[in-house]
Structure 1
Amino acid sequence: MSNIRITKQFTFETGHALYGYDGKCRNVHGHSYKLSVTVIGSPITDSSNVKFGMVIDFSDLKKIVREEIVEVFDHATVFNKNTPHVELAKELEERGHHVILVDYQPTSENMVIDFAQKIKNRLPQNIKLFSLRLQETESSYAEWYQSDNL
């Protein structure tokens, strides 16, 4: 049976700041992120299976990505917890804001690595994560490919 890639796209709003950066992104700001998740596998061949012909039901993939990424990061502000931004994070949390502290500089590159691991941990064994594309602006995005990370 052939391997087939399927892709599901998601959007979410997230703020961040890049501590120590020498440009405007050192300031707290936000993006309307677009995340494309591509998985690869063989379509189900058992005609008695309700998912016959599917690699994975799009709704199953949607559930994984929504729970691991979208519901967590949407309308949150992300800071590297190993920087002085942790003080700002504490103040925002005290004021009722949703803040995420991560172990990395919250660039698109590092976020897409984090997202790949979270999604891979939840996929069924016969389905592999093929690639992710995290679009930060209309003209800027980071891509992660499994084949680049073997």
Structure 2
Amino acid sequence: MAKIRITKQFTFETAHALYGYDGKCKNIHGHSYKLDVCVIGEPITDTSNVKCGMVIDFGDLKKIVKKEVVDVLDHAIMLNKNTPHIELAQDLKKANHNVVLVDYQPTSENMVIDFADKIKSKLDSNLELHSLKLRETGTAFAEWYAADNA
């Protein structure tokens, strides 16, 4: 049976700041992110399976990515937990704002690494995460490929 790649795109709005950076991005600012998630596998051949012919139901992929990434980060502020903005982060949390503290610099490059780990852990064993593409702007993106990280 042929291996097929299935891709679904997700969008979310997130603010972040790059701690220690020497440019404008050291300040809290936001992006309208677009995330392409591509999985690879063989279509289901069991005719008694309601998902016959599918590699993965797009709805099932959506549930995974929404739970692991989109619902966590949409309209949140993502900061390195070592940021000097930690007092601001604590004040925002106290005021019921969605603040996500991570143990890495929240660049697109590090975000796709984090997303790949989270998504891979939720996929069925017959599927592989093939790639991720995270667009920070219309002209700037980071990509993660399983083949590059084998």
If the TM-score is normalised by the length of the shorter chain, which range does it land in? Answer: over 0.9
SS at match of 1:137: coil
User: Counterpart of 2:133 in 1: which secondary structure?
Assistant: strand
Residue matched to 1:13? 13
Q: How does 1:45-56 map to 2 (within 5 A)?
A: 45-56=45-56
CA-CA distance at 1:85 after TM superposition:
2.2
The TM-score, its normalising length taken from structure 1, stands at 0.98
Gaps in structure 2 of 5+ consecutive residues: none
Amino acid of the structure 2 residue aligned with 1:113: I
Partner of 2:145: 145
Q: Give the Cα–Cα distance (whole angstroms) in 1 for the partners of residues 83 and 100 of structure 2.
A: 13
1:62-94 Cα deviation digits (max 9, x unpaired): 000001100000000000002322222111112
* Secondary structure of the corresponding residue to residue 20 of structure 1: coil
Distance across 2 between alignment mates of 1:91 and 1:21: 23
Runs of 4+ that moved beyond 6 A:
none
CA RMSD of aligned residues (A): 0.7
Separation (CA, whole Å) in 1 of partners of 2:70 and 2:83? 25
CA distance in 1: counterparts of 2:83 and 2:46, whole angstroms: 52
Residues in 2 aligned to 1:92 and 1:100: alpha-carbon distance in whole angstroms: 11
Query: 1:114 and 1:121 mapped to 2: Cα distance?
Result: 11
1:35-76: CA deviation from partner (whole Å, max 9, x where unpaired): 000000000011111100000000000000001100000000
Q: Residues 3-82 of structure 1: matches in 2 within 5 Å?
A: 3-82=3-82
Give the length in aligned residue pairs. 150
